[in-house]
Amino acid sequence: MKAEPESRIVKGVDVKFSIDDLREMEGATSHWDGVRNYEARNILRDKMQVGDQVLFYHSNCKAPGIAGLATVVRSGYPDHTAFDPAHPYFDPKSDCASPKWFMVDVRFVRKFPRVISLAELKQHDQLRDMALVKRGRLSVQPVRKAEYDFILSLAGEQ
């Protein structure tokens, strides 16, 4: 899951969200809102389940890469930010009766000792077919177990 760790103002609101921000939230938990891509929405809505592990990726910054881990604590439900005209992720075509956008809740697990950069990820043959390497723009992406395990080894984890 990708988030932007550096300040970016949308409709007067800073949408910055880093792994440190997640760690500092009450219960180290937050909803993952604002996804406005149908493929990523389908992953949130249909595939992510409570207990799934998440690679927390810092995107749209000087050194993009995987910063740590989170876990899904609530599976897909309607993204209320789509209905709020004052919210940066408001979608005027959204309808409460038939929600178009969904989100999940995630909880901080741990921050890696270092960010594993996208450049480093691209150097490993084991990750050449990873969605992040092949289709980097999608904000929520599936990760195969072998890829996940390899990334944990890069982070010095088991």
What are the chain's domains?
2-154 (3.10.590.10)
Average pLDDT over the chain reads 94
What string of H, E and C letters represents the secondary structure of 83-135? HCCCCCCCCCCCCCCCCCCEEEEEEEEEEEEEEEEHHHHHCCHHHCCCHHHHC
Tens-place pLDDT, residues 51-63: 999 999 999 899 8
With cut-offs at 50, 70 and 90, classify the pLDDT of residue 135: confident
Model confidence at 136: pLDDT above 90? no
Report how far apart, in Å, the C-alpha atoms of 50 and of each of 70, 71, 74, 109 are. 11, 8, 5, 14
137 pLDDT band, cuts 50/70/90, is confident
- Residue pair 104/72 in contact (Cβ under 8 Å)? The answer is yes
Instruction: Say what the pTM is.
Output: 0.94
Of the pLDDT bands very low, low, confident and very high (cuts 50, 70, 90), residue 90 is: very high
pLDDT of 97: 94
